Copies of this chain bind each other. A is one copy, B any other.
Amino acid sequence: MPNTFGKLFTVTTWGESHGPAVGVVIDGCPPNLPLTVEDIQAELDRRRPGQSDIVTPRKEEDKVEFLSGVFEGRTTGTSLSMMVRNADHRSSAYSEMRDKFRPSHADFTYQSKFGIRDHQGGGRSSARETIGRVAAGAIAKKLLTLATPEHPLIVRAFVTQIHDLAMPAEALAAFPTLAEVEASAVRCPHPETAQKMIERIKSVRSDGDSVGGVIECRVRGVPAGLGEPVFDRLEADLAKAMLSLPATKGFEIGSGFAGSRMRGSEHNDLFEMRDGAVHTRTNRSGGVQGGISNGEEIVFRVAFKPTATILQPQPTVDIHGQETELIGRGRHDPCVVPRAVPIVEAMTSLVLVDHWMRQHAQCGLFKNLSR
């Protein structure tokens, strides 16, 4: 089931960039969750194109519609279907893509795999597919918040690097607020860096070029015990979730690649008692040990490559095996990283809800057996 994610809170997405609609079916959603279209729309609006002058000008309202699974304002526990109609069809703009493989896009590989592809706007490989993920993630996020009323679980992603411009390390000490993240179009909570990033993106756009970047995601309030070794470790499922996003090239948790250059005596997170509970003094583990959350903040980073679409002529090959040239035209998103922030949060929320349900199923139901 390549288009399904999760084991208990399962999310199946469907839809092509220029087909009639995109959507998602959630199977296993807990019943009785209060839910409105606005809960979903708020997150969709964060990923929508056309929000600022540094992202793609594609104008889509992306209005979500509930098709099933919600009754009188609450989830029913049955399969929950949502759909967003595709409004902005300009398929004529894509006629060149029917035959030519765009470099570093999925045109060639979809053709190789399936022997057929919807070439319009990338078809199924378009990032427009992530609308379904964000819609489902909004429900997961609401579940996580409602389930932790006293110390709410918070999933916060933000941009730490665009091209070679990175937030200063000391600025990463604090857990950024949503307002700080949303303060800039680039979703970097460090204002000076954010300003430079925006300028860089504008400059690159004027060159018809693109840039990549890095998103960090932190989660507060995760209870110890989530994660399912040996294969469905929490970090393994987070890694899969992130590498399943378009344009991602890397994932690291806690100390990450830098940790590989440390000694054990530097890297180990020593335990101590704090506020009556077991905590670690440092968090090089990134909130996960042995594949299971340890109650500390979960911290991971995701690397995004520069957008493959650029407005410059590029040599390529066509479907008939002839070398040719492709010239990007029209709309162009010089940096997808800021818009990926809500998508990273959505996927993280989906992983956490799913693991929480799995943990509860195995260790919650029969936990008093032995008394």
Contacts and interface: CB of A to CB of B under 8 A. Distances in A.
Nearest to A28: B362
Given A250-B253, A362-B357, A365-B364, A271 B113 contact: no
Interface string A353-371: 0001111111111110110
Copies in the complex: 4
A149 to B, nearest CB: 9
A168 B207 CA distance: 34
Given A124-B78, A268-B314, A116 B71 contact: yes
Contact of A114 (B68, B288, B306, B363): B363
A64 interface: no
A229 interface: yes
A78 B32 contact: no
B230 A31 contact: no
Nearest to A166: B261
Nearest to A22: B68
A93 to B, nearest CB: 17
B109 A31 contact: no
A317 B272 CA distance: 6
Interface string A265-289: 1111111110010101000111011
A92 B318 CA distance: 59
A84 to B, nearest CB: 11
Contacts of A207: 265
A98 to B, nearest CB: 10
A342 B181 CA distance: 43
A15 interface: yes
Given A83-B83, A250-B260, A252-B303, 4 more contacts: A34-B370, A163-B261, A262-B305, A264-B306
Interface in A234-276: 235-244, 246, 248-257, 259-273, 276
Contacts of A312: 265
Interface string A1-45: 111110010101111100111110101111111100000000000
A103 B270 contact: yes
Nearest to A129: B230
Interface residues of A, number: 164
A204 interface: yes
Nearest to A75: B116
Nearest to A365: B360
Given A250-B250, A303-B260, A363 B31 contact: yes
Given A79-B13, A289-B104, A109 B272 contact: no
B357 A271 contact: no
A294 interface: yes
A105 B254 CA distance: 14
A365 B2 contact: no
A239 to B, nearest CB: 4
Contacts of A322: 273
Contact of A265 (B12, B29, B209, B366): B209
10 contacts: A5-B231, A12-B79, A29-B362, A106-B290, A115-B363, A143-B366, A210-B265, A259-B303, A266-B306, A268-B310
A72 B2 CA distance: 23
A41 to B, nearest CB: 17
